Structure 1
Amino acid sequence: MADESCPAALSELCLAQVCLSLDTLCRIGPNGSMRLLWAPLLPQEMADQILNKMAVEGRLNDRTVSIFRNCEQLRLRKARIRSSPLSAEAFRCALCPHRLQELDASWVSGGLTGAQILSGLASNPECRASLQRLTLRGFQMEWESLQVEEAAQVAFSSLKGLRTLNLANTDLTDPTLEDICTLPKLEGLDISSTPVTELSALLGCRNTLRYLTAHGLRRLDMSSSRLISVLGQLSALQHLDLSDDRFASALSSAEDDIESEVDQALRLLLEGDPGVLPALVSLDVSGRKRMTEGAIQAFVERRCGLVFLGLLATGAGSCDVLTAKDNLKVTGEANEQQICESLRRYRERECFTREALVNLYQLTSDMDNQTRPDILKLVLEGMQNHSDSLSVQLVASACIFNLTNQDMAVGMPHPLLSAVVNQVLKAMRGFPSHQQLQKNCLLVLCSDIILQDVPFDRFEAAKLVMNLLSGQVDQTLQRMAVAIISILVAKLSTEQTTQLGADIFIMKQLLGIVQQKAMTGVVDSTLKFALSALWNLTDETPTASRHFIQCQGLELYEEVLESYYSESSIQQKVLGLLNNIAEVEELQADLMDEGLLDHIMSLLQGPHVEVGVSYFAGGILAHLTSRQDAWTLDQELRQTILEQLCAAILTWDLPEREMVSYRSFRPFFSLLQTCQPAGVQLWAVWAIRLVCTQNSMQYCRMLQEEGAVDLLKTLISDLDTHSDIRRMAECILGIVECQQTTSDPQD
């Protein structure tokens, strides 16, 4: 496995940048095609890498593939265009003129047919001779897509240099197979999941064929004796795959009672003379449940040169003879090695990937906190290769949770965890209504390591998780969703928080959860996380703050303050949000309620009031009293508040633990003006001293970048400034100076 903790190779970064910059590197022709403005003579391998990277990044299409029309500067030999949307014309004009040695066009979309690919390749005499490997997995040949005259001349047998051909999941027919088997150099053939009925054509390449993959041939119509006769004549055959996926179908239980002709042929092969297929070193019978341990043991003992045996979903992987062979690789479910080998071997096969993951889930449920990035990477590849399969996503996400739960994520490389999270988010987008999958994905995300340290699109994740709360969800899912949101929102930029808060639906959902919990009077993690999420959502986001008022959040929060008067953690979160509301000048009028202010004043100080509660209560009062012209209540009340504010702040001790974090100091600027009352100024400088003391590097830099240092200096120089305010401001500047000295030592 590549070291996921290492940075990406420079070549990979350069290739990615080329893909991102195609529009600026190219000129656009009248028909929309692209040509490089400057095309140096590149090494042939680099041209292959550019094409492959474009396909992997989803940047390869009719427009962009045209840069390869210049065969002199960008010479292709190994063309990989998997899953790219290309038309027949674009393929023929851009790729077929090259002297290709390999072409992987698996699952290519855009209207291109297998017949058109074959016709395009055959149109280049050099390509007919040079092409050695061709993969058309997932294609329909559709010979009718060619002109009658053209179709009559196009055949696989025209590609005389072909050594390996993959036609899995195509509409391959018996006549076409006969044509293929006339190829003089054919060594490897994959005809899995095709409708062929006869394999006698293979005798045409009996002396050259070394690798035959014939997985899931549902329409095969040959007697066991005829099948074993044909296979027995393939004297050069080294690898034979006759595995099957019927075990995963709804009819599997009924089919188990019937021994198929292929099963009988395989039994004869396993138990028979090793002189049949003497070169065979690799056999795959996965999915064929009628394979017995006795037959497997006899086969292994007779074949001393055996290097691979596929036994997944056969129940025969526990033979003692298998563990005695050090050089024998086995796919199965008997142990970790067999399961991991299954995930590596069967990347392209959904049914086998799922079967291996089911067994892996049982294995990883008891791993005793072992950190296994090697296994996690295999699970990730399975998810990525079958992103449209609900069954694979479901069991893979459960495996990922087992592999990253608790302390197991600590030792995982962050690039690997980042890729895992991105795939989990893709699964959430792909199956939004499947509650169990969503729950699995939330379980993965509910990790401090992932949420705090791993890079991923937190904004996208927050939106996906919020959408879960719109339907009927169980309490476990709701609790996880709210917990994740509360942490994600705190990690977003101000712009992202503003965009998220612009959706009033989010505000309604979170307030609904708070109301639901408050009505029952419970104090649980869901309530606390919902309050934290709302607090972070309204931080320096006036739109979200307005939505809070519009959704009757203020009335709800007043009730919460009264109901949870003895719960300081609840009060602190409630007052923190109200402090955000108080920072928005146009919303301050909504807080001008004597009953509310009396309650907040009662939380300024007292033997049983924690400093965190007092701090946010003071912040609300400081902001509301900072604008005398906007004060709509009795002036004596304002004066009383200012006096109590000063008295309370001077009794506060700096807490040992971090109590609050700020995105910026801009909300403090108006409070630091020399014209402000002493109580307002005192709260602002105490707040700045608090965070600068607890995290000097971050907040001292913020003070300097935002110009708050100059405001503090002005406050110190003003003769009317209260002595306690001046002392605190000088303390802050001392911390800033000390931080500067530490960060920029002089020689």
Structure 2
Amino acid sequence: MVHFLHPGHTPRNIVPPDAQKDALGCCVVQEEASPYTLVNICLNVLIANLEKLCSERPDGTLCLPEHWNFPQEVADRFLRVMTWQGKLTDRTASIFQGNQMKLKLVNIQKAKISTAAFIKAFCHHKLIELNATAVHADLPVPDIISGLCSNSWIQQNLQCLLLDSTSIPQNSRLLFFSQLTGLRILSVFNVCFHTEDLANVSQLPRLESLDISNTLVTDISALLTCKDRLKSLTMHYLKCLTMTKPQILAVIRELKCLLHLDISDHRQLKSDLAFHLLQQKDILPNVVSLDISGGSCITDEAVELFIRQRPAMQYVGLLATDAGYSDFFTTKQGLRLVAVGMRNHPLDLRVQFTASACALNLTRQGLAKGMPVRLLSEVTCLLFKALKNFPHYQQLQKNCLLSLTNSRILVDVPFDRFDAAKFVMRWLCMHENPKMQTMAVSVTSILALQLSPEQMAQLEELFMAVKHATIQNWPSSSCKMTALVTYRSFKTFFPLLGNFSQPEVQLWALWAMYHVCSKNPSKYCKMLVEEEGLQLLCDIQEHSEATPQAQQIAASILDDFRMHFMNYQRPTLCQMPF
């Protein structure tokens, strides 16, 4: 659970570490409410045709046409898109050699390039930021630092270096960061980073933000060297830490400039450090953002007291704790959902379950109406990813299904509707809870209208698996559920009504029509007449192969029609057999 204590004033200058590592996430804030830019569309076309547009050097690497020149902002974005698409290799990275591209913000996250290619392509540029998160082992941390330090301009001006999950050879011991005197932000999450390396880093004269999570650091006392300039510290899951809790708190107490602190716990390393931190009155006087997710013994009362003593706080992370449920958070302070956690922890059941509950609460509160379509699309796709990763966890499945009943998501938000329809149909096969069936059927009815004929044909196969009893128990017109569905026409259902060889398919089509006719008869009973659907219903009533359930539903639709349209004057009405 994540709480923003001042809605609309979320911390921008100091980003929680997981969001910082996710390059795509950095652009969501700017782009989620807008269509894709023309620049991005052009870059995608360029990357797709890079082999055709470039010439080849004798060593097999690519070279841009001589007359091409890219402005710095476009060059940075071009490289970023290449990296996201997995197109950055030794062969393609060579287009950044020379002066045709002028780079400042280099993103080579998860790229598979060698040390030689990295140095030739990027180390001659005037870089102020390098994201080398999880690059291939062919480009280890010592080589990255050595390459950067080969450029005196980079030594003095590189401000941000992200090395998360980057490899270090076994024979390497000390990492020499001290030459990078311009560094303000350094992240070595999940790197073989030792206490000696921390001592080296702490001497950097401009260091403001540091992430040493999941490293081999045993003692954080070296942080006292930079206590007057460190503003952001992330150190979750320090599994090798040998200090006592009072010793750790004594160091943190001296970091009086700290604005952001993350001491969240790993699920395998339960700690009460956060509990003891919350009891301190003379610690972190200027803190704005605090993440204590996963900590043990944390209560609403302790968190509330800590926050009240520090009115400038804007963010507190309480995921996987016993806190965060009081009125102090939910009614007075405002709650927002963050998709970053779902993206970064797809196989963590607790994260996914909590996130699905947050998504459900947000849609239930009607907040989805004010959210950008692209953000809702991302959350919806992440929910389906959670469904696939945890197929047997019923409460998670239920949360995701309930979130889907939001009409804006179903109608406006882009996601794989065929995949969603298959999931909902399978869910119907396995669960017979009447309330959940009501929602599942409504969702399926809407999704079916947005599928192609080929997809509908594949979906029909799933109807044989629906229990036959399941369909009989679908809600009648007496249920209080409002109709989520808005049909422009019944004509897509007509071929299904005549499918007597697959009674489940026929029953589903009948129920979908019955549901809207009973909820909005003035619109849909009229539609039945105008599209000449009444005769099909009469045929079902009289057909020898029709099931009793199908005949009963057809009769109910016709009864609704008689009740509301006996005075409807239309020539075709007189021809309808009753």
Matches for 1:110-189 after TM superposition, within 5 Å: 112-122=139-149, 124=151, 126-144=153-171, 155-181=176-202, 183=204, 186-189=207-210
Indicate if the aligned counterparts of 1:166 and 1:191 stay in contact, CA closer than 8 A: yes
Q: Partner letter of residue 47 of structure 2?
A: L
Which of these residues, 258, 263, 275, is aligned with residue 289 of structure 1? 275
Indicate if the aligned counterparts of 2:109 and 2:132 stay in contact, CA closer than 8 A: yes
Give the structure 1 partner of residue 258 of structure 2.
239
Which of these residues, 303, 317, 332, is aligned with residue 317 of structure 1? 303
Which of these residues, 471, 483, 494, is aligned with residue 442 of structure 2? 483
Q: Partner letter of residue 39 of structure 2?
A: C
Give the structure 2 partner of residue 650 of structure 1.
571
Deviations along 1:408-460, whole A, 9 cap, x unmatched? 44444444433433333333344333222121111111022322344444334
Indicate if the aligned counterparts of 1:122 and 1:128 stay in contact, CA closer than 8 A: yes
* Structure 1: distance between partners of 2:81 and 2:207: 29
Give the structure 2 partner of residue 104 of structure 1.
131
The answer to whether the aligner puts 1:443 opposite 2:402 as a matched pair is yes
The answer to whether the aligner puts 1:217 opposite 2:238 as a matched pair is yes
* Structure 2: distance between partners of 1:63 and 1:392: 37
Unaligned runs of 5+ in 1: 145-150, 257-286, 330-336, 344-351, 584-589, 616-647, 654-678, 684-747
The alignment partner of 1:171 has SS state of coil
The alignment partner of 2:449 has SS state of helix
* Structure 2: distance between partners of 1:614 and 1:47: 65
Give the structure 2 partner of residue 269 of structure 1.
none
Q: How far does residue 82 in structure 1 lie from its aligned partner after superposition?
A: 3.6
Indicate if the aligned counterparts of 1:215 and 1:242 stay in contact, CA closer than 8 A: no
* Structure 2: distance between partners of 1:5 and 1:123: 36
Shift of the 288–382 alpha-carbon distance from structure 1 to 2, 3 Å rule, reads same
Give the structure 2 partner of residue 497 of structure 1.
453
Deviations along 1:389-411, whole A, 9 cap, x unmatched? 32122112211221221644444
Matches for 1:604-643 after TM superposition, within 5 Å: 609-611=559-561
Shift of the 299–425 alpha-carbon distance from structure 1 to 2, 3 Å rule, reads closer
The alignment partner of 1:49 has SS state of helix
Which of these residues, 48, 57, 80, is aligned with residue 23 of structure 1? 48
Q: Partner letter of residue 8 of structure 1?
A: S
The alignment partner of 1:317 has SS state of helix
* Structure 1: distance between partners of 2:113 and 2:464: 45
* Structure 2: distance between partners of 1:475 and 1:125: 70
Deviations along 1:54-90, whole A, 9 cap, x unmatched? 44x5455327852642341221112133455555565
Deviations along 1:501-522, whole A, 9 cap, x unmatched? 235532323xx3455443x797
Give the structure 1 partner of residue 25 of structure 2.
none
Q: How far does residue 472 in structure 1 lie from its aligned partner after superposition?
A: 5.5
Equivalenced residues, count: 523
Give the structure 2 partner of residue 8 of structure 1.
34
Matches for 1:62-461 after TM superposition, within 5 Å: 62=89, 66=93, 68-84=95-111, 90-108=117-135, 112-122=139-149, 124=151, 126-144=153-171, 155-181=176-202, 183=204, 186-199=207-220, 201=222, 212-222=233-243, 238-239=257-258, 244-246=263-265, 249=267, 252=270, 256=272, 288-291=274-277, 293=279, 295-296=280-281, 298-299=282-283, 306-308=286-288, 310=290, 312=292, 314-315=298-299, 316-319=302-305, 322-323=307-308, 326=311, 328-329=312-313, 341-343=315-317, 352-355=318-321, 375-376=335-336, 378-405=337-364, 407-461=366-420
* Structure 2: distance between partners of 1:211 and 1:602: 67
Shift of the 97–471 alpha-carbon distance from structure 1 to 2, 3 Å rule, reads farther
* Structure 2: distance between partners of 1:84 and 1:538: 51
The alignment partner of 1:342 has SS state of strand
* Structure 2: distance between partners of 1:218 and 1:419: 33
Aligned-pair Cα RMSD in Å? 5.6
* Structure 1: distance between partners of 2:243 and 2:555: 90
Q: Partner letter of residue 34 of structure 2?
A: A
Question: TM-score, normalized by length of structure 1?
Answer: 0.55
* Structure 2: distance between partners of 1:3 and 1:134: 22
- Determine which structure has more spread, i.e. the larger CA radius of gyration: 1
The alignment partner of 2:191 has SS state of coil
The alignment partner of 2:127 has SS state of coil
* Structure 2: distance between partners of 1:25 and 1:108: 22
Indicate if the aligned counterparts of 1:77 and 1:102 stay in contact, CA closer than 8 A: yes
* Structure 2: distance between partners of 1:398 and 1:500: 31
Shift of the 612–434 alpha-carbon distance from structure 1 to 2, 3 Å rule, reads farther
Q: How far does residue 91 in structure 1 lie from its aligned partner after superposition?
A: 3.8
Deviations along 1:111-154, whole A, 9 cap, x unmatched? 6543443344345555445433211123332345xxxxxx6997
- When you count helix as a share of all residues, which structure comes out higher? 1
* Structure 2: distance between partners of 1:651 and 1:557: 27
Q: Partner letter of residue 459 of structure 1?
A: F
* Structure 2: distance between partners of 1:606 and 1:318: 57
* Structure 2: distance between partners of 1:608 and 1:51: 63
Q: Partner letter of residue 244 of structure 1?
A: I
Indicate if the aligned counterparts of 2:182 and 2:206 stay in contact, CA closer than 8 A: yes
Shift of the 601–37 alpha-carbon distance from structure 1 to 2, 3 Å rule, reads same
* Structure 2: distance between partners of 1:197 and 1:380: 32
Deviations along 1:546-588, whole A, 9 cap, x unmatched? 9x55545599899x99xxx9x9869x99x99xx99x99xxxxx
Q: Partner letter of residue 308 of structure 2?
A: T
Q: Partner letter of residue 78 of structure 2?
A: I
Matches for 1:549-628 after TM superposition, within 5 Å: 550-551=501-502, 595=544, 609-611=559-561
Indicate if the aligned counterparts of 2:229 and 2:257 stay in contact, CA closer than 8 A: no
The alignment partner of 1:491 has SS state of coil
Matches for 1:667-706 after TM superposition, within 5 Å: none
Deviations along 1:673-707, whole A, 9 cap, x unmatched? xxxxxx8xx99xxxxxxxxxxxxxxxxxxxxxxxx
* Structure 1: distance between partners of 2:426 and 2:118: 41
